[in-house]
A and B are shown apart, each in its own frame.
Chain A
């Protein structure tokens, strides 16, 4: 995982360096603040630094070999056999016979289910309620003790249906989309009717001619990609797949 993350990060930084200033950190767009502007010192520092300087992983070495050496991350020394450290007791050295099992503390486990997910009749609920009563909070977990608004939110889709569109609205949406699919794009319609783009896609189909044209344009754009952009996209797709399979 480390190696993969490292390689991607390098290419990101490289791209950031080539891009005009001000677009250095596209990932920041993912972070939206709460309605009350956050006063998180970390976020503030990040914004300030991003405006002033380049990422620290940028290529600043004189030669390719030095850059490679600088960017190479050694594995954690518990994985090195035997760790070449003075005073490291021999019995603590890992051998190849051992299995290193070190899951992240946040990994899902059979032995820990969030209290909210427990069925009503589960005896663990009673214990949690006792703990909450002792702590004097309404919430059933210790996280109820801290003010959650201090942490900035990260985009999260709200899948709760609002049911605010009538049948007439949907008919109108369909009519608009069929009449002029260029002006009434999916994004425009979603913004206009205050619904998700997925809902627009569920409601209307663009005329086949428009779909063919869009597909053609996309193919043209794809044909212009060079090997770097293409491989970067392929790698991103593969990385997403690995993430979904729990391999990252």
Chain B
């Protein structure tokens, strides 16, 4: 089969197209410059699929911007305000004419009080525009504080016995960058190949090359951070509450900036660039929540977090991992003054076959704490102990448990004290 030459198919159509609007005609495109020297890195990425050779036949240059676009083949979609293309992010007045932005606002059912300009600002990452008056860092900071507060209070009231490590993992599962990235994708947010003033304001804009250091998580850089990283020092979990970020991760913004500075510019499609993109998406979700909080208030923002973040399913029982489950269960029973646990073989089949199944239950006094089935007695006992421990840790007072922030509403029901557990059985 012969190769299809798509460029030949379309060339007659392109030739027949009328000349583009003079207002958006790039003046500099006529200048006899070489493509490599004239293009900034960002523009080269943005138009990498286009023919970037300067053309001699283009007439009537108007604007002072040079990105090497073939405006005969790709006429601009809208008339840009003068000087827009030289800005790092789209000017706010363009937000009113963006179809993508209006669609996003309608899709998220944001109230009318939220202006489109602020929503557009929520889509500009600090790495795209360094100016804090135009990027989303301040909105994202409000948003992340709001989201993390509500997720953590809900987790603590709903699962009061979760061990610290599992709690951090659950926080990350609900409000971490990867989850929020999925939320943003589910909202239909897409990103521009590179930021700039001429980009549609409805696209998420971030740069893979400049560190956006405006966004700071709550926490401190530990003085022993280098040892923790290079010498694999251990640190206790409880001081993560003070030092580390909301997900129990070490804070090292300087290190991140160095890492970004050291990387080659041509690097794409690896784990690191994916992480950068996910963080930008997550920051955008936080900024949308911050926008809602700033313009509509606490209650709509809380309902929004509940609907978009807390409504997601996280299998908390999959987060557990036990080192010595039987020992931990014995310690739990000793601590809580229960009778010592006894493992009993409830039923078995095929002991002499190649696929035996043992069903072991663990009892404390007359009460069954857990049950597990496996192909060996030891594994079945361990499974039963793990199930018993998990049902201890996964205790929940109920689905609609009240959280402290409910009390801030008008006409709230009287407060019922939340169940507070004394803590995990063994340190992990």
B187 at the interface (CB under 8 A from A): no
Q: Tell me, rounded to whole Å, the shortest Cβ–Cβ distance linking B415 to chain A.
A: 15
* Residues in A neighbouring B344, C-beta threshold 8 A: 148, 151-154
Among A89-97, A116-124, A165-173, A218-226, the one that faces the other chain is A116-124
Q: Is A98 an interface residue (CB 8 A)?
A: no
Q: Which residues of A contact B142 (CB under 8 A)?
A: none
Q: How far apart sit A50 and B322, CA to CA, in the bound complex (Å)?
A: 33
Q: What is the CA–CA distance of A144 and B392 in the complex, to the nearest angstrom?
A: 20
The docked-state distance in angstroms from the alpha carbon of A22 to that of B182 is: 58
Asked whether A116 and B317 contact (CB < 8 A) given A107-B387, A243-B383, the answer is no
Q: Does B376 contact A (CB under 8 A)?
A: yes
B157 CB → nearest A CB, Å: 13
Taking beta carbons and an 8 Å cutoff, which residues of B are in contact with A?
159, 316-318, 320-323, 325-327, 330-331, 334, 338, 340-348, 351-356, 360-384, 386-388, 390-392, 394-397, 419
| Residue-wise interface mask of A (40-71) relative to B, using a CB-CB cutoff of 8 A (1 in contact, 0 not) | 00110010011001011100000000000001
**A108 interface contact, C-beta 8 A:** yes
Question: What are the residues of chain A within 8 A of B360 when measuring CB–CB?
Answer: 154
Q: Would A157 and B330 be within 8 Å (CB), given that A9-B375, A139-B366, A148-B344 are in contact? A: yes
Residues from 120 to 157 in A contacting B, C-beta threshold 8 Å:
121-122, 137-141, 143-144, 148, 151-157
Distance, CA A139 to CA B355, complexed state (A): 35
Query: Which A residues lie within 8 Å of B383 (CB)?
Result: 243, 248
* In the complex, chain A residues whose CB is within 8 Å of the CB of B366: 137-139, 141, 143-144, 148
- A5 at the binding interface (Cβ < 8 Å): yes
Q: Whole-angstrom distance between the alpha carbons of A159 and B385 in the complex?
A: 14
Distance in angstroms between the alpha carbons of A245 and B330 in the assembled complex: 19
Interface of B, secondary structure class, is mixed
Q: Which of B367, B370, B419 contacts A139 (CB 8 A)?
A: B367
A109→B364 contact, CB < 8 A: no
Q: Is the CB of A46 within 8 A of B351?
A: yes
Decide: A156 and B326 in contact? CB cutoff 8 A: yes
Question: CA A159 – CA B397 in complex, angstroms?
Answer: 29
* CB contact between B343 and one of A5, A143, A156 (< 8 Å): that residue: A156
Q: B369 contacts A113, CB within 8 Å?
A: no
Considering only CB atoms and an 8 Å cut-off, how many residues of chain A contact the other chain? 62
What is the bound-complex CA distance between A151 and B370, given in angstroms? 15
- For residue A151, give the distance in angstroms from its CB to the closest CB of chain B: 4
Answer whether residue A194 sits at the interface, using C-beta atoms and an 8 A cutoff. Answer: no
Shortest CB-to-CB span from A47 to chain B, Å, is 10
Q: Does A104 sit at the interface, judged by CB under 8 A?
A: yes
A116 and B370 in contact, given A5-B355, A49-B352 (Cβ under 8 angstroms)? no
Q: Look across to chain A and name the residue whose beta carbon is closest to the beta carbon of B330.
A: A159
| A106 lies within 8 A of chain B by Cβ | yes
A212 at the interface (CB under 8 A from B): no
B327: chain A residues at CB < 8 Å are: 157, 159
User: With A107-B317, A108-B390 in contact, is A144–B373 under 8 Å at CB?
Assistant: no
Contacts of A152 in B (CB 8 A): 344-345
How distant is the Cα of A45 from the Cα of B354 in the complex, in angstroms?
Answer: 17
Q: Which of A25-33, A75-83, A175-183, A203-211 lies on the face that meets chain B?
A: A25-33
Docked-complex contact B334 and A248, CB < 8 angstroms: no
Inter-chain contacts of A160 with B (CB < 8 A): 330, 334, 340
Residues of A within 8 A of B341 (CB): 156
| A190 on the B face (CB < 8 A) | no
| Inter-subunit contact B394/A115 (CB<8 Å) | no
Does B345 lie within 8 Å of A122, measured CB to CB? Answer: no
Known: A143-B368, A153-B343. A30 touches B354 (CB 8 A): no
